[in-house]
Structure 1
Amino acid sequence: MTGPAPFPTALTELTGVRYPIVQTGMGWVAGPRLVSASANAGALGILASATMTVGQLRTAVREVKSRTGAPFGVNLRADAGDAGERVKILIDEGVRVASFALAPSRDLIVRLKDAGVIVIPSVGARRHAEKVAAWGADAVMVQGGEGGGHTGEVATTVLLPQVVDAVGIPVIAAGGFHDGRGLVAALAYGAAGIGMGTRFLLTSDSTVPDAVKAKYLAATVKDVTVTDRVDGLPHRMLRTAMVDSLERSGRAASLLRALRHASAFRRETRTSWHRLLRDGMAMRHGRELTWSQVLLAANTPMLLKASLVEGRTDIGVMASGQVAGVIGDLPSCSELVARVMDEARAVLKALPAPG
């Protein structure tokens, strides 16, 4: 592998990757092509599995393995009804890392760790990090409010040091990162590396349609908004006519739209209505969601697929971190990772020596 020299941190030592950079598991975006390109570039590529059937997941894992010999991971939904089946695939196929968008159960963590799989949950609050650390997680990714998709209200610069101080495991910083300066800043806060989603979405290795990438590149920071009208939870995305329509819709229109998308998602993933509603109820637990939001919570991936796969931004949504407003090019994953590491070393070298 060519490129900058290795940059050891607790994250690289734990996972075996060359650089302390994680390409996060974005639904419909983080498929075999992007994951293998990220892994070959020296980062930790994470395959997004929530939008795949169990059979598709196994096929995707094997495709990544055929494209790279470097370590990679798979992102799982801990609350999915078939989470156990998916965990078995990771174990059977020798996947290095399991990441989770929601905190996995203690039993899932134990099962994975017993099989030698590294467990890295994603969290948005200090108490969640403390919980999964106590259950045996190997590391944790903490996403601040700048991050794309489901997000919280606390900025990375406030949340990250809280988590670093609270847990004794490696912490990966996510939300607002796109360059070497951000990596150095995260390391200064005590993180072991950074996670980037939108920045990897906007690479030449990403399968997102070019016309959609152009919309991301044209966005300003103010064009990236947070709405709860997709599934009842704060969701950071580009403001589009579709988002405006969702925010104007009444309850009846929202319910009809939710039913239509739920039906499409059920066909796409071969999910029964029973499982679809069960997963939706799991998301509803502890939250004040309407039934239309429950349905949308279970099939929001269809709204993302419309834009990120089919290029239909008129009927889909475009999850995005705020960094979309400061990104202006489409490098390859190899070029991106090399650039970030070169920038990081230059920044470290330019820091004033302590007096």
Structure 2
Amino acid sequence: MTGRPPPEPGDAPLRTPLTALVGVRHPLVQTGMGWVAGPRLVSATAEAGALGILASATMTLPQLHDAIREVKSRTAAPFGVNLRADAGDAADRVRLLIEEDVRVASFALAPSRELIGRLKDAGVVVIPSVGAVRHARKVAEWGADAVLVQGGEGGGHTGQVATSVLLPQVVDAVSVPVIGAGGFHDGRGLAAALCYGAAGVAMGTRFLLTRESTVPEPVKARYLAAQVTDITVTTKVDGLPHRMLRSEMVAALESSGRAAALLRALRHAAAFKKLSGMSWAAMLRDGRALRHGKDLSLAQLLLAANTPMLLKAAMVEGRTDAGVMAAGQVAGVIDDLPRVAEVVEGTVRQAAALLTQLGAGVSSPPPAGRPPAAPAPPSARSRAD
């Protein structure tokens, strides 16, 4: 089996099947957010003892190679890479992960049984993300080592079932470790997830709003100023439910007619084509792959293919008027920009203290069957909706 040996757990207060499987100190995962989860954020997360996931969907293969090398130059701790199973060069990216001894491969869409098998044979831990019980069962049967289940509170493409309902359903449905996502930002959430039987939690927005995050400061300010009611779900970006901050772009997409939507989609598609070097045929193919079985208009198909450009406009260029800002509902209850280490340590401390109060015996490994976990910092605010 390839891969670096897991580090000693030391004085980590929360040990779960996730920490044992991946070799991290704490049962926390920083999600692979496009244009956000780069080497700096991932390495800071890994150094803090959690699992950082590098976002590769917005990178070319050479860029991914450089990003992996940069993370490895910053930390010896385990980390992961998020992959698109339907990408045209998916096989090359899998080969790169194996050659570079990356510990975890995560997927936004379910990878095939063959792809899972290839990664597992090379010693790579496979953790697909799912949004339904049936999908969790499928990937677990195909050999996935764990599943990350996101409830409707999560940012980006999301479902309709709340995490508090979906998470225990998945825990009961599969025998592999389950990581909860959607609505987590502090130790109270981590403690709750562990009580549901999860092996840990994943957080995106909370890690986006840290000092190590490379998101431009004006964009972070928009997130910090948001109330819970400022986060919406729209299908106007790419035809699929997408949770994000309300913005000028979202308003324009929701109010524009078909002709205006098509022109906007063509403009963004042309920009993405220039950036990525993809052909129009390849972009349309990717758009169809991203539609998840839904019938999309031509404008929606183009937007589905170049949604990364809409995200890049905000998350890289700082253009809140021309981009989209994916956001979990927790953006409405976060009002600080701590360091990543403070997020991880504060979350774990708070969860451990709460579980101790509940008599959960968090110093010992959890019993077989249904594990526990841990996320965010004690600086959670209470803000009126």
- 1:272: how far off? 2.0
Give the conservation status (yes or no) of the 8 Å contact 2:239–2:291. no
| Equivalence for 1:173 | 180
- SS of 1:30 mapped into structure 2: coil
Structure 2 regions of 5+ residues with no counterpart? Answer: 1-6, 362-385
| Paired residues, number | 354
The yes-or-no answer on 1:73 pairing with 2:93 is: no
Q: 1:311 aligns with which of 279, 300, 318?
A: 318
**TM-score, with normalisation over the residues of structure 1?**
0.97
Amino acid aligned to 2:275: E
Q: Do the aligned residues in 2 keep the contact of 1:198 with 1:321 (CA within 8 Å)?
A: yes
| Cα distance change of structure 1 residues 3 and 294 upon mapping to structure 2, 3 Å threshold | farther
Contact 2:16–2:199 under 8 Å retained in 1:
yes
Residue 278 of structure 2 aligns to which amino acid in structure 1? T
2:190 maps to which residue? 183
Partner amino acid, structure 1, of 2:354 = V
What residue in structure 2 maps to residue 133 of structure 1? 140
The aligned amino acid for 1:286 is G
Q: Secondary structure at the match of 2:356?
A: helix
- Partner of residue 279, structure 1: 286
Q: Secondary structure at the match of 2:290?
A: helix
Distance across 2 between alignment mates of 1:285 and 1:122: 14
Q: CA deviation at 1:351?
A: 2.4
Of 46, 59, 71, the residue aligned with 2:66 is 59
2:269 is matched with which residue? 262
3-state DSSP of counterpart to 2:52: strand
- Taking only the aligned residue pairs, the percentage that are identical comes to 73
How far apart, in 2, do the equivalents of 1:155 and 1:279 lie?
A: 29
Which structure has more helix as a fraction of its residues?
1
Q: Match of 1:28, SS? A: coil
- Asked if the contact 1:228–1:234 (Cα under 8 Å) also holds between the matched residues in 2, the reply is yes
Structure of higher RCO (CA pairs closer than 8 Å, 6+ residues apart): 2
Report the more deviating stretch, 309-318 or 343-352: 343-352
Q: What is the TM-score of this pair, normalised by structure 2?
A: 0.90
- Maintained 8 Å contact 1:3/1:338: no
Kept in 2, the 8 Å contact 1:36–1:45? The answer is yes
In structure 1, what residue type is equivalent to 2:25?
A: R
**2:56 & 2:197 partners in 1: Cα distance?**
30
CA contact (8 A) 1:147 1:321 kept: yes
Report Cα offsets for 1:247-292 as digits up to 9, x if no partner: 0111111111111111111221222222211111222362121111
- Preserved contact between residue 177 and residue 195 of structure 1 (Cα < 8 Å): yes
Tell me how far 1:352 sits from its aligned partner: 6.4
* Partner Cα separation in structure 1 for residue 291 and residue 343 of structure 2: 38
Deviation at 1:3, TM superposition (A): 9.8
**Per-residue deviation, 1:189:** 0.5
Which aligned runs of 4 or more in structure 1 are off by greater than 4 angstroms?
Answer: 1-4
Contact 1:121–1:141, Cα closer than 8 Å, also in 2: yes
In structure 1, what residue type is equivalent to 2:114?
Answer: D
**Could you say which residue in structure 2 is the equivalent of 1:200?**
207
Identify unmatched segments of 5+ residues in structure 1.
none
